[in-house]
Amino acid sequence: MGSTPNIRLKGMSQLRYNFLWDSEIRHFAYEPKNQKEIDDIFRTQGKLYKTMYFSVWLDEVKAEEPKPEAKASTGAKSRPKAKPKAKSQPVAEAVLSE
């Protein structure tokens, strides 16, 4: 079997970035470690590599579990909780006719 295809790019700051093939999204991908790397990669496009352009892949946002509210330990009065917004009206059940 062959090896995993990859593209090695050198950024404007002379750092090297190894873009690996991601079979899930069917593109070469690199996950930057910080904002400095992101800026360097996007500054590089069209300058060092005239035909290489980059795009951003955003995963679906996963719903986070709600965190429990912290209770005031100083004995201060807490604000009353806001009423939850009403959901859509319930649908009436279908009437069966004989």
pLDDT single digits (tens) 10-21: 888 999 999 899
From the CB of residue 92, how many other CB atoms can be counted at a distance below 10 Å?
Answer: 6
Q: What is the pTM of this model?
A: 0.51
d(CA 51, CA 70): 53
d(CA 40, CA 26): 23
Per-residue pLDDT at 76: 54
The three-state secondary structure class of 35 is: helix
The one-letter amino acid at 17: Y
d(CA 37, CA 17): 9
